[in-house]
Amino acid sequence: MSTELLKAIADSNQWWAIGPEMILGCAALGLLVLEILLPKDRHRFIPAFAVVSLFMVLVAVVINFDNIRGGDALFGGLIRLSMFGQVARIFFLFSSLLVCFLASVCLPRTRMPRIEFYHLILVVTAAMMLLTQSNHFVMFFVALETVTIGFYILVSYFRDSVLSLEAGLKFLVLGALSSAILLFGIVLIYGAVGRVEINGVVHTGFEYGTVLEFLRQHPDNFLATAGALLVIGGIAFKIGGFPFQIWIPDVYQGAPTPVTAFLAVSSKAAGFAVLLVLIEEAFAPLSAVLTPVLSLMAGATILFGNFSALTQRNDKRLMGLSGVSHAGYLLLGVVASLTVSWAVGAIWFYLFVYMLATMAAFGVMAYLGMTEDAGLELDQYHRLAKDRPFLGAVLAVSVGSLAGIPPLAGFMGKLLLFIAAFQAHLYWLLGLAIVGVILSIFYYFGWIKAAYFESAPTAGDRRPASAATVAVSWVGVATLTILTLATVLLGFYQQPLTSWLLK
Amino acid sequence: MNSLESQLLQLAVAIPLVAALIIAVGLPKRYSTKLAAVAFTLPALIAIWLWWKFPAGGGGQYQFLSSADTGLGAFGIHLTLGLNGIALPMFLLAAIAGLAAGLYALRSGAERLKLYLLLLLVMHGGLLGVFSSVDIFFFYFFHELALIPTFIMVGVWGGRDRNYAAMKMTIYLTVGAMLSLIGLIALYVKSDANSFDLIVLKQAIAAQGISGAVQNHLFALLMFGFSILVSLWPFHTWAPLGYGAAPSSAAMLHAGVLKKFGLYGLVQIALPLLPDGAAHWAWRLALLGGIGNILVIGFVTIAQRDLKQMIGYSSVMHMGYCFLGIAALSTAGAGGVVMLMLAHGLSVALLFLLATSIHHRTHTFDLAEMGGLAQKTPVLAAFFVAATFASIGLPGFANFWGEFTVFVAVWKMSHAMTVVAVAGAIISAVYGLRSAARVFFGSPTEPLQRVLARHPASDLDWTERLPALILLAALLFFGLYPRSISRAIDEALLRPTAVVDSTVSFHR
């Protein structure tokens, strides 16, 4: 290699491009330093440091949103900025802020160390942000593993709870399996594509652009196709797509509530973000194979999620399994995005409104939850609307939005996905999705029914005594009110999101 | 474009919703009831003003148009409000019935009154939005906005079997709403107009047309979707159950106004846009509506012992006339349906109101345990008998003009169906008059005497009398002076693109 080449590579290392991730990484380390430096009685201020740094980065990304338009690959082809990469950054930052809020509700109830929790949230957030900007399979895998390993720790964070440990073990075993599948897929693609020299620069089969070019010339290459399918299988584990969804109910129930919310929102969104990038920038020529595979996966995911959620009585398992069905609707959007380009915006719109509603629902669950944090039975929600009108209203709006009841924002999300599916002529999938929505009304409505219509808790299913008295701090009231109002207002007025996502 | 009237129309939809939001944010109770009273009254005044200003000769066109982009402009979805000759009577109905139901609710003494009024206001705003939407997406959107509170109201304040009734209503009506949503989206995609605006859709479809087979599919989606919402036999079972359990104001608004959404959608959207599809399905619709709703449900209604269930079944039965009128595929049929929707909405709301008032005095809905109430409550008796006459369709009430016109239209289609329809009029006379006789005349039964001894019955007080009077006055006004509203309906239906067969015009 000549010095010019090295210089060119060095020039392409535009550190500002990954500034947000670096700041988060530094903040994560700073948390640990603060823990050592500050006296014990000041430790309660450390989470605030995490929240402030997340918030500052969020503000910085939003302000610079229009300055970053994407374009060339940076860092020797490892990273490429794009418009939706910025959207993803904002999504993950916002979601992590809400996870921090949930953690501030749940963690004080236990004797677990707190600082490491926020440390891990920051690291995982940074890794997710890098993941969606990755332009290279090595970058992709490293970022993904950082996320996954962070989650291994987070899921079993309550180490004196049997359920949390069990969830952690299940997640570890199945997560490792999915990583292996993913890695095998990457290796197959690399083996098929090999090394290509373009303009004197050697490109490898790790770069998305090279894979795209190769597949365009050899769309029938078996190894590369198999590799692509395996990679998609590995991602399906993250998003909970059928048949890789089997870990969800147990892990969601056992994990601490903030982690469950983190898994349900950020981890799922990261899977979709990276899936959309891969499909568009690496696997586009394979659409003849991907369309049927993803369609099957979408249909099966919708049906599995809804049917298995029908009989659930535990709120966290219900969120998990109904979350599978949401992954199914989103996969429907992914299939549509192969032919209808604006569907990507519709998927992000859906993810945003899903985040608002899911986080609000988990907020209510966090306040009502018990110390072992294994979720409540739906019967324990009886009389909630009467005893705790505020929490009841938040729950009704967020669950209604998840069910896609107009005029809440969730309905608009589904509507956009369905219009995209219509334009992509996916009539059968659309029919399945409609069946799914109707099924989902049943179990979501059952939840609202438990909170609003049932008058008295049955003797055996009383809410934990703490739930009747636990005070909702002003931060909690403000956060939940903002989430709820946003869910209602976005149902009437979508301009703030659509003007941004559907250009 | 932005005349005073179009702004008033926007205001009429916005006022109840904004009032609901203010109450939700945490207004004290005594201000909440005052605010609610204002928010129920203003839209009614605006509706009457708009009706007054509705230009003669302009019924065919949408008036008072205004449009706003809420963020879905890329899909051709705009919040476009306006009224044409078909929408005007329905808008008026929503405003009047909403006023009556709201006034009744203010003094109903319901538990958690604030939440009750809040939901009722959302429902009212949704109803006003449904009938003033020119955009078919918002037409659906507002319907759902009005529908969701119904479920909650049945579930929280409902009577017997409220949980089961709420669940059943939710599932049936969600299926119906989903089918019609898919039908509307399909219409949007197939029209190639990239717009949900009904005016644009009409022009686009008039310009290029939709092939017959596609029309059949689209019409089937819309017909079944809308008809489930209107309780077409055999998809009607949610209705009597739901109305039986629903609190009075919710039953008044749902049976009176919201249920008309489906019929209105068929008359305003499906018939003019999909004439071939309508022709393909007309006979099946007529058979289901005529035999199923009118005859089968008619006899079922006669067999009812529970007053509220009986009114619920009777409202299912009367929908049969509307289906027949639509299936007649003529101007007269469609016009009769619009008139009948207006009249039935007013009369069934009045009946539900009076049924609750009767319940306050007898503490039962069981017809077998009543009797002789007229001696104690002559005014209530007079109102109930008048409402029953209206519901049967006696001349002098608005219902007469609706039913009569439908009969004439159906005669053109099939003589046998007319016989069915006229038989239905006799059936409704049987159960209507019998229930009035059972409740008010004869001598009080044993159980009732015991109840009356404990709670002496007083006659209708003003908080019940005022809403009942509003409804009855409207029924009589349109019954004695139908031209005041039918002129606009006529003009809307006689547009060249609006109808399939315009040989019969609507009662001139």
DSSP secondary structure letters along B69-123: --S-GGGT--EEEEE-TTHHHHHHHHHHHHHHHHHHHHTS--TTHHHHHHHHHHH
Positions of chain A with pLDDT lower than 50, given as ranges: none
| Cβ B133 vs Cβ B81: under 8 Å | yes
Range 228-257 of A in CB contact (< 8 A) with B: none
| Cβ A398 vs Cβ A487: under 8 Å | yes
Residue B290: band (very low, low, confident or very high) from pLDDT cuts 50, 70, 90: confident
Amino acid at B253: L
Q: Which domain holds residue B70?
A: 4-493
Domain ranges of chain A: 295-503
Interchain contact B459–A (C-beta under 8 A): no
State how far residue B54 is from chain A, nearest Cα, in angstroms: 29
What values do phi and psi take at B330, rounded to 5? Answer: -135, 165
Crossing angle for the helix pair B238-245 and B136-157, to the nearest 10 degrees: 50
State how far residue A453 is from chain B, nearest Cα, in angstroms: 5
Q: Mark yes or no for CB contact B71/A495 under 8 Å.
A: yes
Q: Is residue B421 part of a domain?
A: yes
Chain A contact set for B174 (CB, 8 A): 437-438, 441
Q: Which of B144, B162, B166 sits opposite A406 (nearest CB)?
A: B144
Amino acid at A101: F
CA end-to-end span of chain A: 43
Q: Is residue B55 part of a domain?
A: yes
State how far residue A454 is from chain B, nearest Cα, in angstroms: 8
CA-based torsion, B431, B433, B439, B442: positive or negative? negative
Domain count, chain B: 1
Rounded CA Rg of chain B: 21
What distance in Å separates the CA atoms of residue A414 and residue A412, rounded to the nearest whole number?
5
Q: Mark yes or no for CB contact A453/B162 under 8 Å.
A: yes
Search chain B and give the residue with CA nearest A383: B156
- Would you state the pLDDT for residue A469? 65
Mean pLDDT across the stretch B291-302? 89
- Give the number of C-alpha atoms closer than 13 A to the C-alpha of residue B22, restricted to the C-beta side: 18
- Would you state the pLDDT for residue B503? 37
- Cβ neighbors of A36 (< 8 A, separation 6 or more) are none
Range 444-503 of A in CB contact (< 8 A) with B: 445, 448-449, 452-454, 492-499, 502
Search chain B and give the residue with CA nearest A492: B70
Which among B181, B189, B238 is the top mutation candidate for probing chain A, defined by the most A β-carbons within 10 Å of its own β-carbon? B181
CA dist list (Å): A292 to A234, A331, A439, B46, B118: 18, 12, 24, 55, 47
Q: Mark yes or no for CB contact A449/B144 under 8 Å.
A: no
Structure tokens at A122: 């920051």
State how far residue B455 is from chain A, nearest Cα, in angstroms: 28
**Quick one: which of B17, B86, B241 has its CA closest to A492?**
B17
Structure tokens at A199: 């303009």
Which among B147, B152, B168, B221 is the top mutation candidate for probing chain A, defined by the most A β-carbons within 10 Å of its own β-carbon? B152
Q: How many CB pairs under 8 A join A and B?
A: 73
Q: Is residue B503 part of a domain?
A: no
Q: Mark yes or no for CB contact B70/A452 under 8 Å.
A: no
Q: Which of B70, B148, B188 sits opposite A493 (nearest CB)?
A: B70
Q: Which of A393, A453, A499 sits opposite B71 (nearest CB)?
A: A499
Q: Which of A434, A448, A494 sits opposite B178 (nearest CB)?
A: A434
Q: Mark yes or no for CB contact B71/A342 under 8 Å.
A: no
Range 407-436 of A in CB contact (< 8 A) with B: 407, 411-412, 416, 418-419, 422-423, 430, 434
State how far residue A3 is from chain B, nearest Cα, in angstroms: 51
State how far residue B118 is from chain A, nearest Cα, in angstroms: 13
CA dist list (Å): B372 to A210, B354, B439: 90, 16, 6
- State what percent of residues in chain B have pLDDT above 70: 96
Structure tokens at B493: 């239906």
Search chain B and give the residue with CA nearest A386: B112
- DSSP letter for A76, please: T
- Would you state the pLDDT for residue B58? 64
Mean pLDDT across the stretch B355-380? 83
| Cβ A347 vs Cβ A272: under 8 Å | yes
ipTM of the complex as predicted: 0.78
Search chain B and give the residue with CA nearest A423: B189
- DSSP letter for B63, please: E
Interchain contact B75–A (C-beta under 8 A): yes
Mean pLDDT across the stretch B251-272? 89
CA-based torsion, B132, B138, B143, B146: positive or negative? negative
Q: Name all contacts of B303-307 with Cβ < 8 Å and 24+ positions apart.
A: B304/B367, B304/B431, B305/B366, B305/B367, B305/B368, B306/B244, B306/B365, B306/B366, B306/B367, B307/B355, B307/B358, B307/B359, B307/B365, B307/B366, B307/B367, B307/B370, B307/B435, B307/B439
- DSSP letter for B289, please: I
Q: Which of B152, B174, B189 sits opposite A452 (nearest CB)?
A: B152
State how far residue A344 is from chain B, nearest Cα, in angstroms: 14
- Would you state the pLDDT for residue B508? 33
Chain A contact set for B186 (CB, 8 A): 422
Which among A411, A453, A490 is the top mutation candidate for probing chain B, defined by the most B β-carbons within 10 Å of its own β-carbon? A453
Q: Is residue B501 part of a domain?
A: no
Residue B84: band (very low, low, confident or very high) from pLDDT cuts 50, 70, 90: confident
- Would you state the pLDDT for residue A11? 66
Q: Mark yes or no for CB contact B74/A502 under 8 Å.
A: yes
Interchain contact A16–B (C-beta under 8 A): no
By the 10 Å C-beta count (0-12 exposed, 13-18 middle, 19+ buried), A149 is classed as: middle
Bridge partners (DSSP) listed for residue A74? A79
Express each pLDDT in B324-344 by its tens digit: 998 888 888 888 899 999 999
Q: Is residue B507 part of a domain?
A: no
Q: Which of A406, A434, A492 sits opposite B70 (nearest CB)?
A: A492
What distance in Å separates the CA atoms of residue B295 and residue B297, rounded to the nearest whole number?
6
Chain B contact set for A445 (CB, 8 A): 151, 167, 170
Q: Would the pTM count as exceeding 0.90?
A: no
Q: Is residue B506 part of a domain?
A: no
- Would you state the pLDDT for residue A259? 93
Interchain contact B192–A (C-beta under 8 A): no
Q: Mark yes or no for CB contact A405/B148 under 8 Å.
A: yes
SS3 A373: coil
Query: Mind spelling out the 3-state secondary structure of B307-318?
Result: HHHHHHHHHHHH
- DSSP letter for A282, please: T
- Would you state the pLDDT for residue B500? 37
What distance in Å separates the CA atoms of residue A243 and residue A233, rounded to the nearest whole number?
9
**Other Cβ atoms within 10 Å of A2 Cβ, number:** 8
